[in-house]
Every structure is written in structure tokens, then in C-alpha cells.
Structure 1
Amino acid sequence: MLNNEVFSCFVFYALLLVLKVYIISIIVGQLRLRKKAFANPEDALRHGGLQFVRQDPGVERARRAHLNDVENIFPFLFIGAVYSLTGPSLFVARLHFLVFFLARLVHSAAYLFALKAPTRSISYSIGLISCILMAIQVLIVVAPYA
């Protein structure tokens, strides 16, 4: 399957995106430690006491960035994998994968650094459009068999 250039390209960007999910998760954890803002009593007790079961705006911002990645990257993994098996042009497929990847990077940066509106909305929309276009292509290819 990795002889399929489009699928190999997809795997490359998919792995980068999964690593990005992990990186944002690590950032959330590090912010919790640094700001002593824990969601669970057992974590707070381990790091100073129950008074640290609390929310922090910076931690919550990073947590929302992580949740948004989970909500958007995992559907991309399915759509992109199926799309890559429909025989698209390597150039067009690479463009979809790269655009989605860059859109997610910008989206996370906009979330983590509270960049001015509408940076986050625009990057989200660009990534979504890329996924929708791939999904439409898949539907066109598989519709005759449905």
C-alpha cells in the first residue's frame, strides 16, 4: 500500500498531525504543572493540595486547542485515507493534505497565542473546506457502487 504515492503522502501528513495532537496535549500538561491548575483532586494533592483543583485561562485555552484538534484531525484521518485510495492526482492530494496540515498549525498557534480574530476562524474554515472537498471526491467515486 505504501507503493501508492498518494497514500504515502497521506501517511506523512497524518503522522505529523497525530504528533501535533500529542504535542498540544503535552503543552496542556506542562501548563497545568506550571500554573498549578489541575482538573483532578489526585493530581492536585500530588502537586501541593486540593486548592489547586481549579481552572486557569491559559490551561483552558490550550485544552480547547487540543480538543479542537481531536475533533478535526481524526475525521481528516478517515477522509484522507479513503480519499487517497480513490486514485486522485498526487499534486491535488498533496495540496489537500498540506493545506489541512498548515491550517491546523495556524489554528493551534491562533488558539495558544490568542492571535487576533479572525485568524482562528479562517484557518479552521480552510481546513474544513479541504476535508469537504476530499469527501465530495470520495462520494463521487463510490456513489456508483452504493
Structure 2
Amino acid sequence: MLVPPSLEVFSCFVFYGVLLVVKMYVIAIITGQVRLRNKAFANPEDALRHGGLRFHREDLYVERCRRAHINDLENILPFLFLGSIYSMTAPSLAVARLHFLVFFAARVLHSVAYLCALPAPTRSLAYTVGQVPCVSMAVQILVAVAAYA
């Protein structure tokens, strides 16, 4: 059964959710800065503004930054949905905080591993660890609402 979230659990979720959104903005800014530094622009009009069409090209590090950002979109957006609904299942604050903190830490490590090209399997482990709280929240949500389906 879903209930109005407790202020403490929901505030904890909002704290980590906002940190994750800020992290996504930081990755986007890093991507833009790397584009400028490496003069590798996705659009011809941007290349023309920064030195000519020869800079309308791909760059390996720009692509690495873009993939880190895309991976964040693919993982953080579902977390934001799951976390908001999970907050309505009346979890204990300690357990909810653990879910949110583990996901946040795993996503930060994943981004660092991606951007710094850390050796395998760092990025894969960070991804996997980040999925554990999401799967846990999804299962708990399904259990809470199963009687009403």
C-alpha cells in the first residue's frame, strides 16, 4: 500500500536526487569544455564559429564524456521515478537512506571511472552496485501495490 511519504524519507530522497541532477549538469559542462578544448564539434555551425568545418568531427574523449552523460540519463531518471514511489511505501529512514546513498555513490564512481578511463572492471562494478538499490526499490514497490493490481 502506498502512503504519503514521511518528510524525513522524502527529504533524504530529494537531497540525493538533486545531487544526482547536479552531477548530470557537471558532466554536461565537462563535455562542453572538452569539446571546446579539443575543438571537436558535433554541428557544422558550431565548428564554423570555432575555426572552420575541419573541427566538425568526433573526438574520442568528447565521445567518452557523452557516453558518461547518456549513461547517467539511462540510470538516474529511472532512479528518480523509483525513489519517489519507494518513498511512499513507508520504508524506514535508515534503509531508504542506504538505498539512496549507495546509488549516489555508485553513480559518482561510475562517472569518475568513465571520465578517467579507470581500469576494468571499475565502471562495471559501479554500475552493478548502483542497480542493486534500484532493483530493491522496484521489488518493494511491486510488493506494496500487488494487492491493488
Report the count of equivalent residues. Answer: 146
Is residue 35 from structure 1 mapped to residue 38 from structure 2 by the alignment? yes
Shift of 1:3: 5.8
**Partner residue, 2:122:** 119
> What TM-score do the two structures reach when normalised by structure 1?
0.98
Report deviation, 1:4: 1.5
Alignment match, 2:7: 4
String of CA shifts for 1:79-120, please: whole Å, max 9, x gaps.
000001110010000000000000000000000000010000
The residue identity in structure 1 corresponding to 2:94 is F
Percent identity, please. Answer: 67
Which residue of 90, 94, 98 corresponds with 1:91?
Answer: 94
Work out which of the residue numbers 60, 63, 74 in structure 2 matches 1:71. 74
TM-score (norm 2): 0.96
Is the contact between residue 2 and residue 8 of structure 1 (CA under 8 Å) also seen in structure 2?
no
The one-character-per-residue Cα deviations of 1:43-96 (angstroms, maximum 9, x if unpaired) are 101100010011111111011000000000000000000001110010000000
In the alignment, structure 2 segments of 5+ residues that lack a partner are: none
Per the alignment, residue 134 of structure 1 pairs with: 137
- CA–CA separation in structure 2 for the residues paired with 1:38 and 1:85: 44
Give the residue type in structure 1 aligned to 2:26: I
For residues 21 and 38 of structure 1, the distance between their equivalents in structure 2, rounded to whole angstroms, comes to 20
Q: CA RMSD in A?
A: 1.1
